[in-house]
Amino acid sequence: MSDLFLRVHNVRGESKDFNHMGWIQINSYSWGVQRSSRRYLLVSTQFSFEID
């Protein structure tokens, strides 16, 4: 069972987890950060989940 879940407005997921019924169950994720001057910018976020 996954420990990561995503909730999107008006999108019904298939999670059967008691605390996350109807959420999307995430299998994996990754993200990237880029440094520019004295700031950090989130440049990408990717999620992986199953689709029936």
pLDDT tens-digit map of 18-49: 999 999 998 888 888 888 888 888 888 887 87
Cα 52 to its chain centre, rounded Å, is 17
pLDDT for res 9:
93
pLDDT for res 10:
94
Phi, psi of 33 (to 5 degrees): -130, 140
The Cα–Cα gap between 2 and 36 comes to 34
Contact (Cβ atoms closer than 8 angstroms) between residue 13 and residue 4: no
Distances in Å between the Cα of 31 and the Cα atoms of 5, 9, 20 are 16, 22, 23
pTM: 0.61
